[in-house]
Structure 1
Amino acid sequence: MVSTSIPTDELAAALQTPVDFNFELPDPEDEEIQEAEFEERLDVVWKVCERFDLQTDIWRGRILRAVRDREKKGGDGRGAGFLNWLKNREITKSQAYALIQLANSADTLLAEGQLDPDTINNFSKRAFVETAKSVPEVQRLVSEAAQQGDRITRREVKQLSDEWTAMNSELLPDEVKEKASEGGLPPRHLAPLVRELEKLPDLHLKHIQQEVAENPDIDTVKLLTSEARSLSKYLDAAAQVQTLKRGATDLGMALEEALRLDCLSTAAELVKQATALEQTVGKLFTTWKRLGSLADRLYVDTGASTPNLRSMLTCLDPLTSETIELHLDEEGDRLVRLRIISEQ
Structure 2
Amino acid sequence: MQDTDTINDLAAALQQPTDISFELPDPEDEQIPESDFLQQLEIAWQVCDRFDLQTEIWRGRILRAVRDREKKGGDGRGTGFLKWLKEREISKSQAYSWIQLANSADTLLEEGRLEPAAVNNFSKRAFVETAKSAPEVQQMVSEAAQKGDRITRREVRQLTDEWMAMSSDLIPEPVKVKAADNSLPPRYIAPLVKEMEKLPEQHQKFIQKEIIANPDIDTIKQVTTEARQLAKYLKSAAQVQALAKEEVDIETALEEAHRVGCLSVAADLVNQASQMEQLIGKLYMTWKRISSLADRLYVDTGASTPNLRSLLSCIEPLGTEVMELQLSGTTEHTVRLQIQETN
Counterpart in 2 of 1:302? 301
- For the pair 1:163 / 2:162, whether they are aligned, the reply is yes
* Structure 2 CA distance for partners of 1:271 and 1:89, relative to 1, 3 Å: same
Aligned-partner residue type, residue 45 of structure 2 = W
Counterpart in 2 of 1:3? none
* CA RMSD after TM alignment: 2.5
* Structure 2 CA distance for partners of 1:73 and 1:30, relative to 1, 3 Å: same
Aligned-partner residue type, residue 47 of structure 2 = V
Counterpart in 2 of 1:190? 189
How do 1:58-137 and structure 2 match up within 5 A? 58-72=57-71, 81-137=80-136
Aligned-partner residue type, residue 167 of structure 2 = N
Distance of 2:310 and 2:47 partners within structure 1 = 66
* Structure 2 CA distance for partners of 1:265 and 1:73, relative to 1, 3 Å: farther
Post-superposition Cα deviations, 1:135-189, rounded to whole Å, max 9, x if no partner, equal 1111111111011110111111110111111111111111111122222100000
- For the pair 1:251 / 2:250, whether they are aligned, the reply is yes
Aligned-partner residue type, residue 268 of structure 2 = E
Post-superposition Cα deviations, 1:231-253, rounded to whole Å, max 9, x if no partner, equal 11111110111111001422122
Which ranges of structure 2 fall in alignment gaps of 5 or more residues? 1-5, 11-16
Contact 1:102–1:125 at 8 Å: present in 2 too?
no
How do 1:204-243 and structure 2 match up within 5 A? 204-243=203-242
Distance of 1:38 and 1:317 partners within structure 2 = 64
Contact 1:193–1:225 at 8 Å: present in 2 too?
yes
Aligned-partner residue type, residue 170 of structure 2 = L
SS of aligned partner of 1:23: coil
Following superposition, the deviation at residue 126 of structure 1 comes to 1.1
Contact 1:101–1:129 at 8 Å: present in 2 too?
no
Provide the aligned length of Structure 1 versus Structure 2.
329
Aligned-partner residue type, residue 61 of structure 1 = G
Contact 1:318–1:326 at 8 Å: present in 2 too?
no
Which ranges of structure 1 fall in alignment gaps of 5 or more residues? 1-7, 13-17
Distance of 1:36 and 1:131 partners within structure 2 = 30
Contact 2:291–2:316 at 8 Å: present in 1 too?
no
* Structure 2 CA distance for partners of 1:256 and 1:72, relative to 1, 3 Å: same
Contact 1:124–1:152 at 8 Å: present in 2 too?
yes
Contact 2:290–2:316 at 8 Å: present in 1 too?
no
Runs of 4+ in 1 over 6 A off after TM superposition: none
Distance of 2:299 and 2:106 partners within structure 1 = 61
* Structure 2 CA distance for partners of 1:213 and 1:63, relative to 1, 3 Å: same
* Structure 2 CA distance for partners of 1:301 and 1:97, relative to 1, 3 Å: same
Following superposition, the deviation at residue 82 of structure 1 comes to 4.0
Following superposition, the deviation at residue 48 of structure 1 comes to 1.9
Distance of 1:285 and 1:77 partners within structure 2 = 41
Counterpart in 2 of 1:312? 311
Post-superposition Cα deviations, 1:283-332, rounded to whole Å, max 9, x if no partner, equal 11111112112222222333444444333332223201101122222665
How do 1:9-24 and structure 2 match up within 5 A? 21-24=20-23
Distance of 2:18 and 2:291 partners within structure 1 = 65
Higher relative contact order (CA 8 A, sep 6+): 1
Distance of 1:26 and 1:294 partners within structure 2 = 62
* Structure 2 CA distance for partners of 1:310 and 1:30, relative to 1, 3 Å: closer
Distance of 2:113 and 2:317 partners within structure 1 = 64
Counterpart in 2 of 1:49? 48
Following superposition, the deviation at residue 88 of structure 1 comes to 3.2
Following superposition, the deviation at residue 38 of structure 1 comes to 2.9
* Structure 2 CA distance for partners of 1:309 and 1:46, relative to 1, 3 Å: closer
SS of aligned partner of 1:240: coil
Distance of 2:99 and 2:118 partners within structure 1 = 20
SS of aligned partner of 2:199: coil
Aligned-partner residue type, residue 149 of structure 1 = G
Higher alpha-carbon deviation: 288-297 or 72-81:
72-81
